[in-house]
Amino acid sequence: MNTPEDHNDIPSDSESEATSATPGAGEPLTIEQQLEQAIAAQADAWDRFLRTQADLENYRKRVSREREEDRKYCVLPLVRDLLPQIDNLNRAIESCQQASPEADSPAAGLLQGVQMVMGEMVSVLGRYGTTPIKAEGEAFDPTVHEALQQVPSSEHPPMTVMMEYERGYLLHDRVIRPSKVIVSVAPPQASDAAE
């Protein structure tokens, strides 16, 4: 049977905490040392709490930014798919204008209808943030222009877009398709031509 005398050699909880806090020291911690440890542990826990709060706030901001980006550019695949059709309408307009430039020709009504459809498509894309890239006569910008050819020209300053082969488009500030262009370069000098 267990008697009260058998339990006298079991240390109390406070004694076991004090001696276990300093293993190998042999001396129990004083109240001041225990208080310092508790204060340090509380400060560490508070610091971890603040860091976790900051991480959570940064996560919320990042998710909000990503959600806004997704909303802003959600029409990108559709716009990419429509650009070849817009190019085809432009080719049809140019072809009609070259074939019968007279206003009273039979193709004039068709040309006017295709121009109206083209205008509507560009207008709808514009409402969603799609804009054509200005190219002809502009300085060559490799971020929005793709040079297909360089042509010596004395009429244009060097590195100026002389002709636009295929129109490029932006969706807000992002390039959907760069403009394919022909760029001017300085003509060869007379001394270079003689050699």
% of the chain surpassing 70 pLDDT: 82
> Can you list the pairs that 132-136 forms with residues at least 24 positions away whose Cβ atoms lie under 8 Å?
132/167, 132/168, 132/169, 132/170, 133/167, 133/168, 133/169, 133/170, 133/175, 133/178, 133/179, 135/161, 135/164, 135/167, 135/168, 135/179, 135/181, 136/161, 136/162, 136/163, 136/164, 136/181
**pLDDT attached to residue 75:** 92
pLDDT class for 5, splitting at 50, 70, 90?
low
* CA dihedral sign, ordered 31, 37, 41, 42: positive
Q: What is the pLDDT of residues 26-50, one digit of tens each?
A: 678 899 999 999 999 999 999 999 9
Contacts of 21 (CB under 8 A, 6+ apart): 28, 29, 34, 37
In Å, how far from its chain's centre is CA 179?
20
Mean pLDDT value of segment 153-166: 90
> Domain boundaries in the chain?
130-189
Strands 145-152, 161-166: pairing is unpaired
Provide the CATH topology of domain 130-189. Nucleotide Exchange Factor Grpe; Chain A, domain 2 (2.30.22)
pTM, two decimals, is 0.66
Higher pLDDT, 17 or 132: 132
Distances (CA, A) of 166 to 44, 97, 169: 62, 18, 10
Q: What is the pLDDT of residues 79-92, one digit of tens each?
A: 999 999 999 999 88
